[in-house]
Amino acid sequence: MQAKVLVTLREGVLDPAGQAVSDSLKQLGFDEVRGVRIGKVIEFELDDMPEPQARARLEAMGKQLLANPVIEDFEVEL
């Protein structure tokens, strides 16, 4: 089974890397860009298991290790 955990900064947390990318894109002529937020995608290859169990395991991983709960949110994709 393949899965992804998407980790993003919480709303209101400053994203200096995203701001730098946004500024650079505007300098390159991409004026339609209004903002950029940078996160991370973690891809998994899991043993076969029922979807609810896989989701629960990935959510536990997100809470315990993959995301900093103070400044980051995460989303599980199966």
Q: Please state the domain count of the chain.
A: 1
**Host domain of residue 65:** 2-77
> Quick one: pLDDT at residue 12?
94
**pLDDT tens-digit map of 25-77:** 999 999 999 999 999 999 999 999 999 999 999 999 999 999 999 999 999 99
Residue 2 confidence class, pLDDT cut points 50, 70, 90: very high
Q: What is the pTM of this model?
A: 0.87
Q: Are 6 and 41 in contact (CB under 8 A)?
A: yes
Residue 8 is part of a domain; what is its CATH number? 3.30.1280.10
> Quick one: pLDDT at residue 15?
98
- Residue 12, sorted as left (phi over 0), alpha (psi -120 to 50) or beta, turns out to be left
